[in-house]
Amino acid sequence: QNYLDNFWPDLKAAHELFDSITQARRERESESQENHGKEYPEHLPMEILEAGVKSGRYIQGILNVNKHRAQLEAFVRLQGFGSKETG
């Protein structure tokens, strides 16, 4: 802010961009505090998830994401189901 004020006081677009970035950063910090430091809020409370896993409504596993095609390829490895097991 000081740099813009001192060296580019008349460059309106730069000041607007700085203000926009500052506001976005404040909103993100506020959301992070509301979510107790988590980047993404939980979709369901943990108690409901645990009960759902116990009842069989939900499954629990490890998410594996392809590092080369992260937006296109991922799978969940279920606990208790290894690649060598046959069913």
Look at residue 87 in the predicted model and tell me its pLDDT: 40
**Rounded alpha-carbon distances, angstroms, from residue 42 to 27, 34, 47, 67:** 18, 12, 12, 24
Domain range list for the chain: 1-40, 44-79
Evaluate if residue 55 carries a pLDDT over 60: yes
3-state secondary structure of 46: helix
Q: pLDDT at residue 23 above 70?
A: yes
Q: Which residue has the higher pLDDT, 39 or 17?
A: 17
Q: CA 23, CA 1: separation in Å to the nearest integer?
A: 13
Could you tell me the pLDDT band of residue 85, with boundaries at 50, 70 and 90? Answer: very low
pLDDT at 29: 79
pLDDT above 70 for 41: no
Higher pLDDT, 84 or 38: 38
